Amino acid sequence: MERQAVQRAREAFLSGRTRPLEFRLQQLHALQRMIAEKETEIATALKQDINRSQYDTPLLELIGIENEIKLAIGKLREWAASRPAEKNLLTISDEVYIQPEPLGVVLIIGAWNYPWALTLMPLVGAIAAGNAAVVKPSELSECSSLLLRALLPRYLDKDLYPVVTGSVSETQELLRLRFDHIVFTGSSPVAKLVMEAAARHLTPVTLELGGKSPCYIDKNCDIRVACRRITWGKFINCGQTCIAPDYILCEPCIQGRVVECIRQTLLEFYGADPKCSPDYGRIVNQRHFNRIMGLMEGYTPVVGGQSDSSQRYIAPTVLKDVPPHSRLMQEEIFGPVLPIVTVSDMDNAITFINEREKPLALYIFCSDKKAIKKMIAETTSGGVTVNDVMMHYTLNSLPFGGVGQSGMGRYHGKHTFDQLSHHRACMVRSLGMESVNLARYPPQNRRRARRARMALTSPLIDMSKRTLVWAILATIISLGLVIALLVILLIAAGLNCTCWYWRGFYN
């Protein structure tokens, strides 16, 4: 069944109907309509999957997708146009440009924590780039996946954008087939299997993985505001976000204050009993619930800690003085449990972060610009937000992606278009001007070789600083000379005019 869907998508792609921009725009408009018209159904599906609150759905998923579609529709012509490239002396009369082209059939494997955003945002870029796309939503968010399978063919081209549902065996079946690019969002162990499968067909991959995103709070910053922002980011979607702040690093002297501020904020956000708040989510399934409860074993939380297995509810929980080698600090938590690890100072925090795998996101709360600059320069991560959390994800002009174990490749906005396109280098020459080419043909002698060297290696524009300075000086001087000339001419003309005027006056 998967094989047939992929085969149909490939045939549809080879028919060439995704090439015209009008077709791609039409599909994007249709997708936009789908999101607008089916918001309620999507919200219901998410409520059943993950107990997502009514407002979290647009907030966390739909606004992002809407913005992506709007941007793609507005900018598609610009993105798909040929991009001129720098020439040299030999190619001065040629057309030299880069043409973005579709890759072919793209496979998009989504995740369960944001089942709509993480499948549809790459899909927007795939459509914009002119590809066909096979969408494989996660089976863990079952209602969303079935809804997507029902909705997408009603709005988009049925053959070009099939939805394939199923679990491990269906995914493995899909991965045996050949694609032109695979976009995978999920965990590292599965990513390794995806990459290995892709290797058989030499398929490039974009991997959006996770990791433990550290959150450093400097002792000299507005802790109240910092904690409010961190609390928002950590407990949204019940902590099941790849870029959620995984753990806090701070000095022991402010640990108490941090805990208090988080406790206060939790009260503001979800009330005294988060279980009753319509805005607080649940853990996706029993296995993850048990996993997160297991991580907390042996620790006494200072905030929260309550749970209810029947509802898969875990209260927003904070633990302090967590040892760096504890289980909590070995794997990505992906739940509403926030450990605080104390460090002696910022340098210590930097060392701590660098000892671990490169995270998907790094968060720094600090008021000192120099210190912030230092921390950014001495660490690495997929992305950084300073004095807030997760916001770098929301700006689609910023590339979103990981590095090292947190992933490879990037997307959002134009970056998705570029990631799912092939940038073809094009040189259009003419058969004329053959005399110029003579220098490179055998039989070779010193004179020819010298001429060839010169033609092929001299850049059209000398980019050195010295030339730039001379160019600017020359322009200023010549402008000055032109102005001087104009002034002289004007004066001369003026004198002439006034002569006439005075003559007239006296006459």
Residues within window 299-358 making contact with other proteins, judged by CB under 8 A = 354
DSSP β-bridge partners for residue 337 = 317
The dihedral over CA atoms of 500, 502, 503, 505, expressed in degrees to the nearest 10, equals 120
The token duo for 264 is 């206060």
Q: How far is the CB of 502 from other proteins (least distance, A)?
A: 52
Nearer to other proteins, 367 or 478 (CB): 367
Catalytic site residue 170? no
Q: What's the CA gap between 258 and 500, in Å, rounded?
A: 86
Q: Considering the rule CB under 8 A, would residue 144 count as an interface residue with other proteins? A: no
Q: What's the CA gap between 290 and 15, in Å, rounded?
A: 49
Restricting to residues 411-440, which ones interact with other proteins according to CB under 8 A? 422-432, 434, 437, 440
Restricting to residues 2-21, which ones interact with other proteins according to CB under 8 A? 14
Catalytic site residue 22? no
Q: Which residues contact 49 (CB under 8 A, 6 or more apart)?
A: 112, 115, 140, 141, 142, 143, 144, 284
Angle CA(66)–CA(72)–CA(76) in degrees, nearest 5? 165
Q: How far is the CB of 358 from other proteins (least distance, A)?
A: 8
Which residue in 277, 305, 326, 451 binds other proteins (CB under 8 A)?
Answer: 277
Longest dimension (CA), the chain: 112
Q: Considering the rule CB under 8 A, would residue 190 count as an interface residue with other proteins? A: no
Q: Which residues contact 9 (CB under 8 A, 6 or more apart)?
A: 105, 132, 133, 134, 159, 160, 161, 162
Q: CB–CB of 402/211 below 8 Å? A: yes
The token duo for 71 is 């941007």
Q: Of 61, 68, 142, 208, which one is the catalytic site residue?
A: 208
Q: How far is the CB of 389 from other proteins (least distance, A)?
A: 10
DSSP β-bridge partners for residue 308 = 313
Q: Considering the rule CB under 8 A, would residue 264 count as an interface residue with other proteins? A: no
State whether residue 9 is helix, strand or coil.
Answer: helix
Q: What's the CA gap between 226 and 210, in Å, rounded?
A: 23
Nearer to other proteins, 29 or 287 (CB): 29
DSSP β-bridge partners for residue 317 = 337
Binding residues with other proteins: total (CB under 8 A): 110
Q: Considering the rule CB under 8 A, would residue 188 count as an interface residue with other proteins? A: yes
Nearest CA to 181 among 130, 118, 241, 113? 130
Q: Which amino acid is residue 132, in one-letter code?
A: A
What is the 3-state composition of the chain as percent helix, strand, coil, each rounded to the nearest 5? 50, 15, 35
Stretch that binds other proteins, among 126-134, 220-228, 256-264, 301-309 (CB under 8 A): 220-228
Which residue in 29, 77, 154, 453 binds other proteins (CB under 8 A)?
Answer: 453
Which residue in 441, 470, 501, 502 binds other proteins (CB under 8 A)?
Answer: 441
Which residue in 143, 303, 403, 436 binds other proteins (CB under 8 A)?
Answer: 403
Q: Which residues contact 4 (CB under 8 A, 6 or more apart)?
A: none
Q: Which residues contact 424 (CB under 8 A, 6 or more apart)?
A: 98, 99, 100, 101
Q: Considering the rule CB under 8 A, would residue 215 count as an interface residue with other proteins? A: no
Nearest CA to 79 among 421, 475, 466? 421
Q: CB–CB of 370/349 below 8 Å? A: no
10 Å CB burial of residue 20 (0-12, 13-18, 19+) is exposed
Q: How far is the CB of 429 from other proteins (least distance, A)?
A: 4
Which residue in 2, 49, 56, 157 binds other proteins (CB under 8 A)?
Answer: 56
Query: How far is Cα of residue 387 from the mean position of the Cα atoms in its chain?
Result: 20
Nearer to other proteins, 65 or 328 (CB): 65
Which residue in 44, 91, 187, 285 binds other proteins (CB under 8 A)?
Answer: 91
Q: How far is the CB of 337 from other proteins (least distance, A)?
A: 19
Stretch that binds other proteins, among 85-93, 149-157, 313-321, 483-491 (CB under 8 A): 85-93
Q: Considering the rule CB under 8 A, would residue 29 count as an interface residue with other proteins? A: no
Restricting to residues 152-181, which ones interact with other proteins according to CB under 8 A? 180
Nearest CA to 15 among 178, 164, 177, 160? 160
Stretch that binds other proteins, among 151-159, 330-338, 381-389, 497-505 (CB under 8 A): 381-389
Which residue in 90, 105, 156, 238 binds other proteins (CB under 8 A)?
Answer: 90
Q: Considering the rule CB under 8 A, would residue 85 count as an interface residue with other proteins? A: yes
Which residue in 392, 411, 416, 417 binds other proteins (CB under 8 A)?
Answer: 392
Which residue in 443, 503, 504, 505 binds other proteins (CB under 8 A)?
Answer: 443
State whether residue 471 is helix, strand or coil.
Answer: helix
Which residue in 81, 92, 395, 493 binds other proteins (CB under 8 A)?
Answer: 395
Q: Considering the rule CB under 8 A, would residue 276 count as an interface residue with other proteins? A: no
Stretch that binds other proteins, among 342-350, 442-450, 470-478, 489-497 (CB under 8 A): 442-450
Q: What's the CA gap between 110 and 256, in Å, rounded?
A: 39
Q: How far is the CB of 490 from other proteins (least distance, A)?
A: 39
Which residue in 42, 43, 45, 103 binds other proteins (CB under 8 A)?
Answer: 103
Q: Considering the rule CB under 8 A, would residue 359 count as an interface residue with other proteins? A: no
Q: What's the CA gap between 46 and 308, in Å, rounded?
A: 20
Which residue in 396, 411, 416, 417 binds other proteins (CB under 8 A)?
Answer: 396
Q: Of 227, 242, 250, 366, which one is the catalytic site residue?
A: 242
Residues designated as active site: 208, 242
